[in-house]
Amino acid sequence: MAKRIDVNALNVYYSKFLAVEDISINIEPKSVTAFIGPSGCGKSTFLRTLNRMHEVIPGGRVEGEVLLDGDDLYGPGVDPVTVRSQIGMVFQRPNPFPTMSIKDNVLAGVKLNGKKISRSDADSLVEKSLRGANLWNEVKDRLDKPGSGLSGGQQQRLCIARTIAVKPDVILMDEPCSALDPISTLAIEDLINELKSDYTVVIVTHNMQQAARVSDKTAFFNIAGTGKPGKLIEYNDTAAIFSNPEQKATEDYVSGRFG
Amino acid sequence: MTTNALKSKSSTSGQAGDKIFSGTALAAGVLILVTLFAVAIFLLIQALPTFVADPADISGGEGFFAYIWPIVIGTVIAAAIALLIATPVGIGVALFISHFAPRKVAGPLGYVIDLLAAIPSVIYGAWGYMVLAPALVPIFEWLAANLGFIPIFAGPASQTGKTMFTAGIVLAVMVLPIITSLSREIFLQTPKLHEEAALALGATRWEMIAMAVIPFARPGIISAVMLGLGRALGETMAVALVLSTGNLIPSLIKSGNQTIAAEIALNFPEAFGLRLAELIAAGLVLFMITLIVNMIARGIIARHKEFSGAN
């Protein structure tokens, strides 16, 4: 549970295009780390390399290493399927499987790779995961109804329940609140605060207040211009990034002078 | 007197253009309805003598129903064989093109599959008659020798290979492009979000397909199969060339059986009087079967539209 991530000199390419250049960062276990930066600066791309989801996009590849408690995700013989079952991901738009019930959505990842689970274990895991995602009380009477019938915020918490049901070491969140209203956003932010007692959480956000509210450490990414690779400009405690940044670009961004 | 500022300032020729266009579009729409209606009326009127004639005068001497039901069954058997073969193959090929093949292979392969649909059916018939049928004879003999206790493989096997089984295989090749290209289109429409959701949970490619692609595509696959069924039911030339016809028999590897479309095509040139009315009545039955199949397919497609994949 809750492993640390160390990234050394990582370059990310889409075919020949260098999207993100030379990132080195150490992410502490049981903490929330936020990635902020203007659109197109490569923060989502970098996040996806942490569970090899960038490989879904044709031509996506990396140079460098990403260590999960010392084990290289890109080492020889490492299966991306195994990586993704240990490093879960929550997406920008809620994406429960539309043809599955709420219960089946929670169990979707657990039943993969031919694993069997007894009915009573399944029921208790569903309850535990939904409680973990602060959704249990809202859906306990309609576990057999389709997940697509929930509100956007509930769907997103269902996706988080689905992710934690697999018992990952790390949870990656790619702008999890950008499609949600303020109340649902608050619910997710409260949840992120609770999740960090068990998991390592990495969140990409466009919302600087959100980064300031939920994260322990913040990384600021920037891009020199269109077609240039994104770079990590500054990485520090969240308080320091927002009150006393070392770099001029960080200060300009967090004070709202651009982006 | 003031003039109304809202009064049209556009030239009258523009308005005339609008009228001509909407008139043409309306006429085209009406023409299709009139054609369909005319076909139905033609079939009904021409077939009428069959239904009022003395049953003893109908081919076979026992009335129209006794004449038509064996060839209705034959039609359904041929279409069923075709679908049993073409559905799994078509879905497999479509999945390969949409989710497994590298992009360089997928494009040309999809194009080649679409080209299969462009080959005239008489060519398929000739191929089935000259190449496929003789090649299948040893297989039929093996089936008759080893599985002959099952009625559909009862021997002795046809020595020309011109059997229902052969006709079904030819039909399968003909409906394959329909099932493949429609399924492929649906598979490609699977929301990226759902595919990524499955992959991010640690699904393998195959599990991702079972979890996200197939459930999303199920209604589309059904309608693709239904449209394939429509073609298999109505196909004439290939069956007429490949099948050595006869009475309805359970064995698929002996000469025998007949389909409606081939029955009409083979007998039409020499038919007159009541025989002609009989064949047209058979056509009416086929028209109704394909109409029903197409309506079911349309119904499923319409239901699919309401269920937009993006939640």
- Taking the Cβ of residue B308 and every Cβ of chain A, the question of whether any pair is shorter than 8 Å is answered with no
Is A201 a domain residue?
yes
Instruction: Return the CATH number at A91.
Output: 3.40.50.300
Identify the band that residue B305 occupies on the pLDDT scale cut at 50, 70 and 90: low
> What's the CA gap between A108 and A184, in Å, rounded?
24
Classify B288 as helix, strand or coil. helix
Percentage of chain B surpassing pLDDT 70? Answer: 94
CATH number 1.10.3720.10 is the correct assignment for the domain at B53-309: yes
Which residues have a Cβ under 8 Å from the Cβ of A50 and sit 6 or more positions away?
Answer: A5, A7, A66, A73, A87, A170, A172, A202
* Per-residue model confidence (pLDDT) at position B10: 59
**A219 and A254 Cβ atoms separated by less than 8 Å:** no
Tell me the chain B residues in contact with residue A112 when contact means C-beta distances shorter than 8 Å: 201-204, 207
Tell me the chain B residues in contact with residue A97 when contact means C-beta distances shorter than 8 Å: 194, 197-198, 211-212, 215
Identify the band that residue B308 occupies on the pLDDT scale cut at 50, 70 and 90: very low
Of A51, A98, A155, the CB nearest to B200: A51
| Cβ within 8 Å, pair B194-A148 | no
> What's the CA gap between B163 and B167, in Å, rounded?
6
What are the tens digits of pLDDT across the range B35-94?
A: 989 999 999 999 988 888 888 888 877 888 888 888 899 898 999 999 999 999 999 999
Which residues have a Cβ under 8 Å from the Cβ of B109 and sit 6 or more positions away?
Answer: B93, B96, B97, B101
Quote the tokens at residue A115: 């694993």
Average model confidence (pLDDT) for chain B? 86
Rg (CA), chain A: 18
- Residue A221 phi/psi, 5-degree rounding, is -105, 145
- Residue B188 phi/psi, 5-degree rounding, is -70, -20
> What's the CA gap between B309 and B65, in Å, rounded?
46
3-state SS string over A150-192?
CCHHHHHHHHHHHHHHCCCCEEEEECCCCCCCHHHHHHHHHHH
- Tell me the mean pLDDT per 10 residues along chain A, length 259: 88 91 92 91 92 88 91 90 92 89 91 83 91 90 87 91 92 91 89 91 92 93 87 92 90 82
From the CA of B101, how many Å to the nearest CA of chain A? 12
What residues form DSSP beta bridges with B271? Answer: none
Indicate the domain borders of chain B.
53-309
For chain A, the domain total comes to: 1
Torsion sign across C-alpha atoms A218, A224, A230, A231: negative
Order of strands across the sheet with A32-36?
Answer: A71-72, A60-68, A5-14, A17-27, A230-237, A217-223, A32-36, A200-204, A170-174, A87-90
* Per-residue model confidence (pLDDT) at position B95: 93
* Per-residue model confidence (pLDDT) at position B240: 86
* Per-residue model confidence (pLDDT) at position B8: 65
Residue A26: how many CB atoms within 10 A of its CB? 13
Which residues have a Cβ under 8 Å from the Cβ of A41 and sit 6 or more positions away?
Answer: A221, A222, A223, A230
What are the tens digits of pLDDT across the range B137-150?
A: 888 888 888 888 88
The candidate with the shortest Cα–Cα distance to B255, out of B170, B172, B157, is B157
* Per-residue model confidence (pLDDT) at position A84: 92
| Cβ within 8 Å, pair A88-B200 | yes
**A52 and A83 Cβ atoms separated by less than 8 Å:** yes
* Per-residue model confidence (pLDDT) at position B311: 34
Q: What average pLDDT does the segment B116-129 reach?
A: 89
* Structural domain boundaries enclosing A36: 5-95+170-254
Torsion sign across C-alpha atoms A185, A189, A190, A195: positive
> What's the CA gap between A129 and B164, in Å, rounded?
56
The kind and range of the H/E element at B2 are: none
What are the tens digits of pLDDT across the range A57-96?
A: 888 899 999 999 989 999 898 999 999 999 999 999 999 9
Identify the band that residue B161 occupies on the pLDDT scale cut at 50, 70 and 90: confident
* Per-residue model confidence (pLDDT) at position B9: 62
Of B103, B202, B215, the CB nearest to A81: B202
Of A82, A93, A162, the CB nearest to B201: A162
pLDDT at B307 > cutoff 70: no
> What's the CA gap between A92 and A220, in Å, rounded?
19
